[in-house]
Chain A
Amino acid sequence: MIESETKRPSPETLLKQARKEARGRLKIFLGAAPGVGKTFEMLREGADLLAQGKDVVVGIVETHGRADTEKLVAPLEVLPRIEIEHGPHKLTELDLDAMLARKPKIALIDEFAHSNAPGCRHPKRWQDIEELRDAGIDVLTTLNIQHVESLNDVVAGFTRVRVRETVPDAILDDAEIEIVDLPPDELIERLKAGKVYIPHEATRALGHFFSKSNLSALRELALRRAAQAVDLQMLDHVRIAGDAGNWAAGERIVVAVGDQPGGEALIRATKRLADSMRATWTAVTVETPRSATLGYEASGRIAASLKLASELGAALATIPAASVIEGLRAHILEAKATAVVIGKSRRSWWFELRHGSVVDQLVRGLEGVAVHVMPTSITAETGDDETRTSRPFNVSGTGIGLLLVSLTTAASLAVASVIGINSVDLLYLIPVIATATLYGLRPALIASVVAALAYNFFFLPPVHTFTISDPQNAITFMILTGVAVFASQLTGRLKREANIGARTATENAAIAAFGQRLAVVSDETGTAVTVCDEIAALLGVSTMLLARKDGAVEVIASQPPNPSLGPLDVAAADWAFERSETTGRDTGTLTASDWQFHPLATSLGVLAVLAVGRNERGTPIPPDKRILFTTLLGQAALAHERIRLESQARDIGALKQRDDLRATLLSSIGHDLKTPLTAVVAAANTLSAEHGESGTTRTLKAEARRLRRVFDDLVEMTRIEAEALVVRHDVLDLTDAVVAAGQDLKAELIAHKLVLDVPSTLPLVDADPRMLHHVLINLIGNAAKFAPAGTSITIEGRRSLDGLALAVLDNGPGLPSGGEAALFNRFTRVEGDDMTGGTGLGLAIVKGFADAMGLRVTASNRPEGEGSRFEIFWPASLLRKPSAGAPEA
């Protein structure tokens, strides 16, 4: 099974490759320390590319006043920076929009890990660079090794300098890395010569930072990290090519995230482990009853660790369980993890005594799973102590418990003489268990102690003292106490688990109810209102649903009503619509907005954007509600998709109804009008047969025939207008078509001579026989109408290089010059037409049919004299070679 998995490149890999090909490339000049010459190298390469004729623009470069660096910048085009006011200072940053507008082939941007001033679109420069790459611009940039996310701790560990600005590892793995290397001795020389720019964080630990051992360590780290990136890129490449070599398949790591400080270091360590083992990894947080009592700082730490883990490529999971051990164990077994990473916590030994060491229990309980215990590092930034909201002491519960004990005592005293003291102790179990069930562990424990003492005092001899004379009684007493405590523990635990279960059930019910409420709404506004109200109620946030109408973002619904949207919010919403990304507060884009914008992405695109906001600081959706929120969001997206699809289906349904109606109408007209016509024609014939042919009967027959033609024209015109023409392509011999038309018009052509000049050797043509017949009838009939009696009407067929032309020629008055094209419009009539009648539709139908068959029809005056020429033209593509493949015997 592993074989087949590795042979085929995974969809993710292919997708990665495809995305890579469309985006601009990234080249990082990586150095071990400041001053090794990264910017210099970057500029050198920029100059080289410029010399090669490429379009190179400098986005932002820090020369720090060094002359040789400035010399390199001189020939390059430098984009002006934008100024941002930040308090009393004026900061300059990369003008991202200007760069996007300029769209060079290559951009040079220094300091990959730089943090942007507030007011910029992205908080970090590497995010700006990502956007440039999305636009297809290649970027050259510089980076120090200590800015790499996963190495941040390691570097801080031995340099004693922790930099705040970090870059996610994923970006590195995607980039071309060039190490700018300088031996430590040389670097120290440069430092002494004043040629090195010192970042302000390092000034404090200057001596130590630039010590030789330090620099060597940094250098090695840089080299190894670069090698690792190359390694991964090579592996990707190999995977795409489809024949992966050694594949350490199937390693799965689980890291347990807790509220203790040092979570982020743990995550980074796990990332390094996962990379080296080429394993997939999941960050798991276990939600126990204790989690509800965590303070703001502690739950913030968990959220931060989870966020970091997700950025570094982990999957996330939240497991509700009674205890951390149980939850971890269950997840590890279910996910078939091969290794688990936990931090060794600094808890008091008292705590450990009571709750047991998680590490110990894990190590003991899991077979076949490697347990990695990471010591939590002592970091410079942490120092806040854990503030925990202690569980409130249930005064009333304890009080009632004691009351129950007293009642039992009184009752027992009353019946003691009857049942004896040995049964009384059992009676005391009742109030203890009742208290445990109703009020939990602590009140029950207190009740047990009091019950035991009461039993001792009131019932065990010597009565009314706390001593016990009979050893047997002493044993009984101890058993009672033990059972009471045990019972309270057990019941207390059961109650806790029941609470967790109830909470999960409530959440699931909420999701189901949400889904049901959405299912009954059938319009967009209603859906929007439901989504906003429900999510606001369930998560305790303000909500807003936005849609895009005519390119502008509009609020469809919100809870509470009438929200205010600033231009920054609108920009964030637009971004969410365009990129289908989460924007706004606590995201990677436009974090200054008050709201957090989540796109509702469906198969039809981003249909709407849901914004959530909270008045207090902190993220609108706390980590423990995140999964619930994601589920609700998914349902909202589905509901929108459903509504949109329904309305599309309705539109289609309406169209279809209209078409059906028209078809029915046409066919019923056909039948209802033709039958009386038949009767009229037949009656005319009968008349002439019974009473002989006369002018009257002739007129009757001629007019009946005309009526029929007019009616046919009307029906055809309707069909053409409705674009309901169905062309039946057939291979025709023009001889047949022309002769048939002539036959049909025998009566009309009585006064004329029909001359057929259609050689039988002409190629066969592609046409619809019925339509062609109608066209010919109309054209020849027209000619008969206008040509004076006695003249001839010629039908002429000629082959030419580019096709075949069939023309109807008459000797009539010809066409008004300049009006040829208008002839084919509906209801156009030539002057003097009133006498001969006609609807004026005939030629319009000719054009309609000709167009449908792909033929060209033109009208002109005959060059050689009087008369008009109506021509139908078949392009060569619609001709059929006569002798193609007719099998002859």
Chain B
Amino acid sequence: MTGQILIVDDEPAIRRLVRGAVERAGFGVAEAANAADALAAASRDGCELVLLDLGLPDRDGIELVPLIKAMNRAIIVLTVRDATVEKVAALDLGADDYVVKPFDTDELLARIRTALRHRIAGASASGLTSAGSITVDLLAHRVMRSGLEVRLTRKEFALLAELARFPGRVVTHTQLLRTIWGEAHITDVEYLRVTMRGLRLKLEDDPAVPVLLQNEPGIGYRLSAE
């Protein structure tokens, strides 16, 4: 947990404040104010996660996402509230998560921890993922709820499995549709909704107030570990 977090934002005030919060949580911090410096800093050994503001002076932050991803760092993008398109694009390009400005630093830290955990877990061979009272066994194709097996349809399982691959992180609608139904159906959000309903009915304590399978409006779904 002592990996380096790189903060990329052109506003010194933001950088200062985030640094404060992140350092308090026990992480090491580096800073960059523009895209060029960001790439240089991200490539240094020891950097594990990049907090990337998309509104950079010299280059569109979005462009950096695949570049930094290629360096095998976790990425959390900092965006403004209504930029749904931006968020989806960033996620599709490989960002792990996003945080909306103005954000709560606690929320930010929670996301940082989740992203790092996943990074460490990485290509975990066990294929087991837990979230709340649910355990997903990707290899054996089984889902357990409080120890009891739950029967899911094929599509329901595929959806759960995909979300379980990125626990705690948001997966875009497009990615889910593509993986589960194929390229031809990436605009058929209905399928997703219906299948998600089925999942919630079977896995949530109160399907009307889902805790496990959360939706990010306009973006995608997240398997929540809280």
Contacts and interface: CB of A to CB of B under 8 A. Distances in A.
Interface stretch (B90-98, B126-134, B140-148, B185-193): B185-193
Interface residues of A, number: 48
B80 interface: yes
Contact of A675 (B14, B21, B196, B210): B14
A679 B14 contact: yes
Nearest to A776: B217
A888 B208 CA distance: 23
Given A733-B215, A756-B209, A889-B154, A678 B101 contact: yes
B43 interface: no
A660 interface: no
Given A678-B103, A685-B21, A769-B217, A733 B14 contact: no
A670 B104 CA distance: 19
B81 A712 contact: yes
A737 interface: yes
A680 B13 CA distance: 9
Contacts of A764: 190, 193-194
A888 B190 CA distance: 13
Interface residues of B, number: 42
Contacts of B193: 731-733, 764, 882
Contacts of B80: 670-671, 674
Contacts of A680: 102
B17 A708 contact: no
A676 to B, nearest CB: 8
Interface string B158-201: 00000000000000000000000100000001110111110011
Contacts, number: 133
Contacts of A92: none
Contacts of B14: 675, 678-679, 682
B102 A708 contact: yes
For A690, A886, A888, the residue with the greatest tally of chain B CB atoms inside 10 Å of its CB is A886
B155 A889 contact: yes
A886 B181 CA distance: 10
Contact of B21 (A689, A773, A882, A884): A689
Interface in B1-34: 11, 13-14, 17-18, 20-21, 24
Contacts of B190: 731, 764, 880, 882, 884-886
B153 interface: yes
Interface in A699-733: 704, 708, 712, 728, 730-733
B189 A730 contact: yes
A886 B209 CA distance: 23
Nearest to B209: A756
Interface in B45-78: 55
Contacts of B189: 730-731
A57 B67 CA distance: 88
A760 interface: yes
A198 to B, nearest CB: 87
A735 B189 CA distance: 15
B17 A760 contact: no
B102 A686 contact: no
B214 interface: yes
A132 B5 CA distance: 89
Contacts of A731: 189-190, 193
Given A679-B13, A731-B189, A764-B193, A739 B101 contact: no
A759 interface: yes
Contacts of B103: 678, 681-682
Nearest to A733: B193
A740 interface: yes
A682 B155 CA distance: 42
Contacts of B207: 735, 760
A739 B210 contact: yes
A807 B206 CA distance: 20
A678 B102 contact: yes
A736 B217 contact: yes
A498 interface: no
Contact of A683 (B17, B81, B155, B208): B17
Contacts of B201: 760
Contacts of A712: 81
Contacts of B194: 764, 882-883, 886
B102 A740 contact: no
A770 interface: yes
A770 B84 contact: yes
B106 interface: yes
Given A686-B17, A712-B81, A770-B82, A739 B215 contact: yes
Interface in A870-889: 880, 882-889
B102 A887 contact: no
A731 B208 CA distance: 17
A681 B153 CA distance: 45
B218 A769 contact: yes
Contacts of B200: 735, 760
Given A679-B11, A888-B155, A735 B191 contact: no
Contacts of B205: none
B37 interface: no
For B13, B200, B207, the residue with the greatest tally of chain A CB atoms inside 10 Å of its CB is B13
A468 interface: no
A882 B81 CA distance: 29
A704 B215 contact: no
A804 to B, nearest CB: 15
A737 B102 contact: no
A674 B191 contact: no
Interface in A171-195: none
A223 interface: no
A682 B217 contact: no
A760 to B, nearest CB: 4
B82 A675 contact: no
A304 to B, nearest CB: 73
A670 B80 CA distance: 8
B86 to A, nearest CB: 12
B184 to A, nearest CB: 11
Given A736-B215, A769-B217, A882-B197, A760 B208 contact: yes
Contact of B105 (A689, A739, A888): A689
B164 to A, nearest CB: 18
Interface string A735-750: 1110110000000000
19 contacts: A670-B82, A671-B80, A678-B103, A679-B17, A682-B102, A685-B17, A685-B105, A728-B84, A732-B193, A733-B193, A740-B215, A740-B217, A758-B208, A764-B194, A769-B218, A770-B82, A885-B190, A885-B191, A886-B195
Sort A-B residue pairs by CB-CB distance and give the 9 closest, nearest first.
A736-B215, A889-B154, A682-B17, A678-B102, A681-B102, A769-B218, A679-B13, A760-B207, A769-B217
Interface of B: 11, 13-14, 17-18, 20-21, 24, 55, 80-82, 84, 101-106, 153-155, 181, 189-191, 193-197, 200-201, 207-210, 214-218
Given A736-B210, A764-B194, 5 more contacts: A683-B17, A756-B208, A756-B209, A885-B191, A888-B153
